[in-house]
Structure 1
Amino acid sequence: MTFPSFYDAAPRLVVFDPLSAFLGAAEDGLLEYGYADAVRLAGHSCPTVAGAYLMTVRSLERLYPDEVPERGAVAVSVREAADDGVAGVMASVATLLTGATENTGFKGIAGRFDRRNLLSFGVGIQGTMAFVRMDTGAGVQATLDSGVVPVDPAMPGLLQRLLSQAASPDEAAQFRILWQKRVRRMLVDHASDPRLVRLAAWNGRPDA
């Protein structure tokens, strides 16, 4: 398995998962995630996956400024319905990093470690997604503006040629290079750009 080298330059996230600690899955319950983990989950690398990854990482950093984020203790809200656009893809990346699920997650052990009902769709928020700490109630909305990293002018034409199966091998290779170049710019060049991922405090109430 060979990934583009820029994956290693993207921000990484370390979380504490109490269930992992309880079961001895990882030493001290510490889990480290990188962008490659999101790619493995989604099966592809694109601005949506990169954006969801950055929104989640930056939101957890904001919610846990002086401590390791706790996986399984953060509720995630998505503005769009689950079957709208790319909402499901974004939510799956957030689930990977936070452990939050709808009603399909781990049910817990003797009332502990329940991961269900921490993920909600179609929530009246202004941001793309919102994250709330279950222990303190602190919340943050994250808004992705992928237009901050524009599409290369050659991309639309190359994409159409690929979809119509008219592209040459060189054109297909150029498309892949330009596609991942945009992802790299998001994850590396603009990883901390407040225009790409805008964060705002959230009180946990819809339409706030």
Structure 2
Amino acid sequence: MHFPDFFDEAPTVRVRDPLAQLLGASVDGVMEYRYADAVRLTGHSCPTVAGAFLTGRAALTALYPDTLPERGGVAVQMPAPENDGTTGVIAQVLTLLTGAAADGGFKGLGGRFARNGLLDFAEDPKIGEGVVRFERLDTGTAVAVGFNAHTVPMDVAQQQRLMAVIQGDADTEELVVFAGAWQDRVCRLLLEHADDPETVRVTELAAGGGTAVVSAGGGQPQP
């Protein structure tokens, strides 16, 4: 399989997973997730998948500023029902990065390492105004992260190509141009806007309900 070259240049997410270490999947428990892993999981590359990847990266960086994030140590609250729009797709990518799973997730070993029930979906799509809430299980520290793909808008020509694709009117050449322009937008989001606070907005949720915008994604600490 040949992915676009920019996949290798995209930011990565490094975590430490104690379950992976216990069961020998990783000697030190450290694992690195790349954008290509999210693409393999979802089967496609688009602004939504890129946004979910950057959202998870930003949240983990904010929650674990001085150490590698603990996969399985974060609860995730989605702002809408699972079947609302792209919420389910975003949740899949966040499960990949954080380990947080819905009720069908891993139930643990001897009362430890459970991942089920750490991912929750809002009943009302208006709750949270589109931001995803992340909370550390050990400290209770929480952040809300919102993603805005409109900082890299789709141009008019691409909108016209998209309509042709949807209607089945695009020829082979148009399909090639469409795919290239589609991935160019994803590339710009990942390489130029990963740490742009206008694209990835992180809000620290202070005790007592107060909030404070802290930053966008940022680099992750080394083990």
Instruction: Tell me the equivalent position of 2:56.
Output: 56
Residue 189 of structure 2 corresponds to residue 186 of structure 1: yes
Structure 2 CA distance for aligned equivalents of residues 130 and 205 of structure 1: 16
For each residue in 1:85-139, what CA deviation from the matched residue of structure 2 results, as whole angstroms up to 9, or x when unmatched? 1000000000000010111111111111110110011174245211110001111
Among 157, 177, 181, the residue aligned to 1:174: 177
Percent identical pairs in the alignment equals 47
Distance in 2 of aligned mates of 1:206 and 1:84: 26
Kindly tell me: are residues 177 and 105 of structure 1, through their superposed partners in 2, closer, same or farther at Cα, counting changes over 3 Å? same
| C-alpha distance in structure 2 between counterparts of 1:128 and 1:89, whole Å | 15
Aligned-partner residue type, residue 141 of structure 1? A
1:89 partner SS: helix
Amino acid at match of 1:9: E
- Structure 1 Cα separation of the partners of residues 84 and 207 of structure 2: 22
Task: Look up the match of 2:92.
Answer: 92
Secondary structure at the counterpart of residue 27 of structure 1: coil
1:19-168 equivalences under 5 Å are 19-122=19-122, 124-168=127-171
One-letter code aligned to 1:192: D
Quick check: 104-113 or 156-165, which moved more?
156-165
Give the partner amino acid of 1:80: A
Q: Residues of 2 paired with 1:205 and 1:180: CA distance? A: 42
Between the two proteins, the alignment pairs up a number of residues equal to: 208
Match of 1:202?
205
Match of 2:217 in 1: none
For structure 2, the 5+ residue unaligned runs are: 212-223
Query: For 2:43 and 2:133, how far apart are their aligned partners in 1?
Result: 24
Task: Deviation per CA, 1:16-74: give whole Å up to 9, x if none.
Answer: 00100100111201111000000000000000000010010011001111100000010
Q: Show structure 1 runs of 4+ deviating over 3 A.
A: 203-208
Summarize the Cα distance change of 1:187–1:204 in structure 2 as closer, same or farther, 3 Å threshold.
farther
- Please give the alpha-carbon distance, in whole angstroms, between the structure 2 residues aligned to 1:165 and 1:34: 33
Give 3-state SS (helix, strand or coil) of 2:100's partner. coil
Q: Secondary structure at the match of 2:3?
A: coil
TM-score (norm 1): 0.95
- Where 1:171 maps in the other structure, the secondary structure is helix
Aligned counterparts of 1:157 and 1:180: Cα–Cα separation in 2 = 16
Unaligned runs of 5+ in 1: none
CA distance in 2, matches of 1:178, 1:2: 17
The code of the aligned residue for 2:143 comes to V
Q: Please state how far the C-alpha of 1:206 moved relative to its aligned partner.
A: 8.8
Letter of the 2:81 partner, please give it: A
Tell me, what secondary structure is at the counterpart of 1:45?
Answer: coil
1:188 Cα deviation from its structure 2 partner:
0.3
Letter in 2 for 1:137: G
Provide TM-score, normalisation by structure 2: 0.89
